Chains A and B, each alone.
Chain A
Amino acid sequence: MSTPTASAPFGARRRLSAFFYRHRWLKLLALLIPPLSWIVVVYLAALVVLLATAFWQQDELSGQIIHTFTWDNVRTVKDDPTLHAVTRQTVQMAVLVTITDILLAFPLAYYMARVASRGVRALLFVGVLMPLWSSYLIKAYTWRLMTGDAGTINWALAKIDLGPLHIAFSTTAMWLAFTYIWLPYMVLPIYAALERIPGSLIEASSDLGGRSWRTLRSVIMPLALPGIAAGSIFTFSLTLGDYIMVDLVGGNKTDFLGSVIFRYQGIANDLPLAAAIALVPVIVITIYLLLVKRLGAFEAL
């Protein structure tokens, strides 16, 4: 043990180190200020500018944004019946996808956490993780190939003398694709929650006369709920803001909030109105986050 301490025991570095040790809060500040200021400057400030942009107006001739206050954009969003319909449609899809993912993810997570052997569990864990990290765009595009009239699904259905389904560019296709793409986000937090339940708790329940169903309902479900809520943040919020899938799988036939925002910004080049529409998903998600916070979702993230 010669190298670490031999160098300069009473040098400047040592004094500096001792200084930081005595003033722990200074060390905390040194650690905290860089990431905190980055997040505040890059992320929070940007959200504030987005909010401000929603109340600015655009010069119709030059397309320049004029930084004077107006209620016009927000009023347009509030009064436009098409946007109401789009909001309803988007929220419906987000809820539907979330419910489907819970139904698919819970039994799988339960099997992984409580039934499967160690080896199978590890295999399934990596198996769920890999699709999560493989390219989003390509997964979306695959669903376009699969749901087409001459796609994989109809081919498989024809093999068992069923079909064909005409779901190309439909909301059904989008529902399948969204359910598929966000499924791992639901499985992992539920698995983490279920894995943490001590076996003794379940034994206690059966010792006290609780049958499987009763144990599931009164012991396991309440403890899994934070995990389900955490997963639902992802499935709900990611569906709510998506516009790529709406384009690739839905063929832009149905408007979603994300696609409308993107269209106003990209094609109509009306950033203030796009910003005003973007406030709708922000408000919806804020409400959702406040709801699931009560279920302990943030502790299970």
Chain B
Amino acid sequence: MEPRPVRIGLRIFSFGVMAFLYIPLVVIVMASFNASRIPTWPIKDYTLHWWSLALHDQTARTALENSFKVGLAATAVALVLGSAAAFALSRFRFFGKNSLSLLLVLPLALPGIITGLSLLSVIEYLSLTPSLVTVAIGHSTFCIVVVFNNAVARLRRSSSSFEEASMDLGADGWQTFRFITLPNLATALVAGGLLAFALSFDEIVVTNFTAGAQQTLPLWIYNQFRLPNTAQEVNAVAVFVIALTAIPVYLAQRLMRESGGIGGRG
């Protein structure tokens, strides 16, 4: 047990770090209601003007739609491939298993600019046209990792004896999968899928290289930041985006609670 002054010191320090994590988020939410045309602090007047402007912006809406399409496609690919990889790596032993699990996390360990530029080189090499499809393919690389991490965490904690019992009692492979394995894994997959979607929905580094003329919501926001006098509208969209990604993350956290938290990006 730590001495009392140390514990108090740790508590104060931790509180400070948490404040450091949350103050910027509070600032951005307040800024989205700032009535001033130029971003200033402190905020003198509050308005809903930027919110209504953002709500009626057609390019923002198209970008939002694109982000949904890309996120859903990347998540679907990630769910199938990520859970298959998780099964293979946690229920089997084979040569090269460790290098394979390392290969799987590589898209998260290497910076996005490398993934982005690599995919662009391929697009260039094969003379493809960048589109939402290339964006979704790019996103799938890191979405797979997120689903994989969540599924593996669950599979490691649940023993395979239930599956063996099911087989002993006369169920075939499909029935065992359908009635034992899948229900056990379901919440982990939902959590992984939600996180993968949230990650794709927010991604800009890889997207910037693979989107061509298409815009996703982060790209739209990034372009707005560079134009003068539009930042306030973006703040409103920003808060909307924070809320929209917070919901899946919160749900995922609840779903994974019983298996010790989500194995998010790490």
Is B one of A's binding partners?
yes
A296 CB-CB contact with B under 8 Å:
no
- Encoded as 1 (CB less than 8 Å from any A CB) or 0, chain B from 107 to 129 comes to 11111111101111110110000
Assess the A152–B27 pair: CB atoms within 8 A.
yes
A163 CB-CB contact with B under 8 Å:
no
Given the complex, which residues of B lie within 8 Å of A226, measured CB to CB?
A: none
Given the complex, which residues of B lie within 8 Å of A291, measured CB to CB?
A: none
A138 to B31, CA, bound (A): 12
Bin the interface of chain B by size: 35 or more
A21 CB-CB contact with B under 8 Å:
yes
Q: Count A-side interface residues using an 8 Å CB cutoff.
A: 99
A231 to B266, CA, bound (A): 8
Given the complex, which residues of B lie within 8 Å of A53, measured CB to CB?
A: 121, 124-125
A84 CB-CB contact with B under 8 Å:
no
* Contact status of A184 and B21, CB under 8 A, knowing A4-B171, A50-B114, A108-B13: yes
B144 CB-CB contact with A under 8 Å:
yes
A49, A115, A129, A289: which contacts B10 (Cβ < 8 A)? A115
Assess the A35–B2 pair: CB atoms within 8 A.
no
A195 shortest CB reach to chain B, Å: 9
Chain A contact residues, majority secondary structure: helix
Pairs across A and B, CB under 8 Å, 19 listed:
A4-B171, A24-B92, A36-B100, A42-B119, A43-B141, A50-B121, A108-B17, A125-B261, A127-B18, A134-B245, A136-B202, A136-B218, A137-B204, A138-B221, A143-B24, A145-B27, A244-B205, A261-B113, A282-B114
Please report B residues at the A interface, Cβ cutoff 8 Å. 2-3, 6-7, 10-11, 13-14, 17-18, 20-25, 27-28, 31, 39-42, 77, 80-82, 84-85, 87-88, 92, 94, 100, 102-115, 117-122, 124-125, 137, 140-141, 144, 167, 170-175, 178-179, 195, 198-199, 202, 204-205, 208-209, 218, 221-222, 225, 231, 234, 238, 241-242, 245-246, 249-250, 253, 261-262, 264-266
Please report A residues at the B interface, Cβ cutoff 8 Å. 4-5, 9, 13-14, 16-18, 20-21, 24, 28, 31-32, 34-36, 38-39, 42-47, 49-50, 52-53, 65, 104-105, 107-108, 110-112, 114-116, 124-139, 141-143, 145-146, 148, 150-152, 155, 180, 183-185, 188-189, 212, 230-231, 233-234, 237-238, 240-244, 248, 258, 261-262, 265, 271, 274-275, 278, 281-282, 285, 289, 298, 301
